[in-house]
Amino acid sequence: MSAPVAIVMGSQSDWATMKCAADALDKLGVAYDARIVSAHRTPQRLVAFAEGAADEGFKVIIAGAGGAAHLPGMVASMTHLPVLGVPVQSKALSGQDSLLSIVQMPAGIPVGTLAIGEAGATNAGLLAAAILATTDPALAEKIKAFRTAQSASVAERPS
Ligand code: RP5
């Protein structure tokens, strides 16, 4: 069976951030395929990926990019699959540019936009799993166990 989640990113330099999405999926036992697909440097690769994603068997796409971050919106425009956008923290503007590029989609083509940087990437992985869990009771149980363990790990008082 093919991986249900695609993680795409605009550059190798995004992987340090996007790996957090991969790590979250690993913790829940959800398979993914991570690829570099740049809206600007590899536009033909972008079209081929986005148009073929559903036929490849993906169910959810996580797309991360920084700066003039067109990737998530362009992917969303060419697939009916849900697209989760992760604004990668840019050097010049600390990811504010990435965030606004991804979040301000015109009505009709949604991108579910997460927080800037590693927290956003982690949550994109968790949210992708939650979407898959709506039709996968075993995965839903894993998510509940993750939440329980997370709560148990929080001390009542600071040390
Ligand atoms: C974007 O430009 C990428 O998503 C990356 O965040 C940013 C910088 O890319 P590099 O110059 O590091 O390859 O397309």
> Looking at the predicted structure, is the pLDDT value of residue 159 above 90?
yes
Question: What per-residue confidence (pLDDT) applies to 33?
Answer: 98
pLDDT at position 1 is: 67
Residue 114 has pLDDT above 80, yes or no: yes
- How much is the mean pLDDT over the chain? 98
Three-state secondary structure of the chain:
CCCCEEEEECCHHHHHHHHHHHHHHHHCCCCEEEEECCCCCCHHHHHHHHHHHHHHCCCEEEEEEECCCCHHHHHHHCCCCCEEEEEECCCCCCCHHHHHHHHCCCCCCCCEECCCCHHHHHHHHHHHHHHHHCCCHHHHHHHHHHHHHHHHCCCCCCC
Summarize pLDDT for 49-81 with one digit per residue, the tens.
999 999 999 999 999 999 999 999 999 999 999
The total domain count for the chain is 1
Mean pLDDT of 80-100: 98
In a domain, 120, yes or no: yes
CATH number at residue 44: 3.40.50.1970
14 is in an annotated binding site: yes
72 inside domain? yes
Q: Which of 8, 9, 11 maximizes ligand 1 atoms within 8 Å of its Cβ, making it the mutation to test the pocket?
A: 11
Q: What ipTM does the predicted assembly reach?
A: 0.97
